[in-house]
């Protein structure tokens, strides 16, 4: 039989071993982790995060706003294309009008029955706020569509259309004829034609091909405005344009 070590000696040995381990130096890297961050380091880190957020946040907002504007403009362009097909399919002209009675959104609708009022059964597309459809006669919009350079014809707007303003007869707006082409008419009994008469030099009537432009405006978070335009050429081609500002009060449509 081997003699058993005494309990006192065992306890003493453990205490000595623990004391030796406590005296072993801790590496400097581990010491930094054990001490944690100082208040100054935390303040500097927070300041860096805030600066980076201030730089990137406007860009993020602009991207989101541009995407929302483009989504609405493309939806409206698709609606115009469907309106063209409907007029061609039914073999008669239809007009696209805007219902702006609700403050939360604008509704574009195809006036199937020609009464100048939106009906529940008529095709529609919603243009959500804060996007607006500015009237060029009352709200300044970027220049570019005031001549025939971009579309091959000077496009009409609700202010320059030959359609009369008499609601009992007809409303100013874009229309498509039985061939699916943009058309206008100058009188209630006149046909809706792809070529119409406008006032030329000296007040003389001259023939003009029918083209159209509708503007969308999106007020941005930085107190600016982003613009899109939806155009229809005399041949019925529909396109969405974006206005690229040069930052100096000018820019161009792309």
pTM of the complete model beyond 0.95: no
Q: CA–CA separation, 192 vs 209, rounded Å? A: 12
**In a domain? residue 26:** no
Cα–Cα distances in Å, from 36 out to 19, 32, 109? 25, 6, 64
209-218: burial string, b at 16+ Cβ within 10 Å, e else: bbbbbbbbbb
DSSP string, 214-225: EEEEEE-TTS-E
Q: Tell me: the pLDDT tens digits for 97-142?
A: 999 999 888 999 999 998 889 999 999 999 999 999 998 888 999 9
Kindly state whether residue 35 falls inside one of the protein's structural domains: no
pLDDT, residue 83, reads 97
Structural domain tally of the chain? 1
Q: Is residue 131 part of a domain?
A: yes
Confirm whether 71 is domain-assigned.
yes
The verdict on residue 246 lying in a domain is yes
Assign 167 a pLDDT band (cuts: 50, 70, 90).
very low
Range of the domain at 225: 46-253
| pLDDT category of residue 80 using cuts at 50, 70 and 90 | very high
User: Which has more pLDDT, 245 or 132?
Assistant: 132
CA atoms within 13 A on the CB side of 236: 18
Residue 249 burial by Cβ neighbours in a 10 Å radius (0-12, 13-18, 19+) = exposed
Asked if 212 and 150 count as a contact pair (C-beta separation under 8 A), the reply is no
pLDDT at 166: 44
Over 70: is that where the pLDDT of 186 sits? yes
In a domain, 179, yes or no: yes
Asked if pLDDT for residue 191 goes beyond 80, the answer is: yes
Burial (CB count within 10 angstroms: exposed 0-12, middle 13-18, buried 19+), residue 149: exposed
**Structure tokens, 177:** 């004829």
Question: Looking at the domain assignment, is residue 209 inside a domain?
Answer: yes
Residue with tokens 């070529």: 195
Domain-embedded: residue 192: yes
The DSSP call for residue 179 is T
């Amino acid at each position: 039989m081997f003699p058993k070590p005494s309990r006192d000696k065992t306890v003493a040995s453990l205490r000595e071993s623990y004391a030796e381990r406590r005296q072993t130096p801790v590496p400097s890297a581990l010491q930094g982790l054990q001490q944690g961050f100082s208040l100054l380091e935390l303040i500097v880190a927070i300041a860096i995060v805030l600066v980076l957020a201030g730089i990137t946040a406007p860009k993020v907002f602009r991207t989101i706003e541009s995407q929302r504007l483009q989504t609405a403009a493309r939806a409206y362009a698709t609606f115009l294309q469907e309106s063209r097909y409907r007029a061609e399919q039914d073999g008669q002209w239809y007009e696209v009008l805007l219902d702006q009675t609700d403050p939360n959104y604008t509704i574009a609708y195809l006036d199937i029955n020609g009464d100048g009022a939106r009906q529940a059964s008529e095709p529609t597309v919603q243009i959500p706020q804060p996007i607006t459809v500015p009237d060029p006669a009352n709200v300044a919009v970027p220049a570019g569509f005031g001549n025939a350079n971009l579309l091959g014809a000077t496009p009409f707007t609700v202010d320059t259309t030959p359609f009369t303003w008499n609601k009992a007869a007809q409303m100013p707006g874009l229309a498509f004829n039985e061939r699916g082409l943009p058309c206008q008419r100058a009188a209630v009994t006149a046909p809706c034609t792809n070529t119409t008469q406008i006032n030329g030099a000296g007040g003389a009537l001259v023939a003009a091909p029918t083209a159209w432009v509708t503007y969308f405006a999106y007020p941005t978070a930085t107190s600016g405005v982003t613009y899109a335009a939806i155009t229809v050429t005399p041949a019925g081609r529909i396109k969405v344009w974006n206005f690229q500002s040069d930052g100096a009060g000018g820019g161009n449509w792309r």
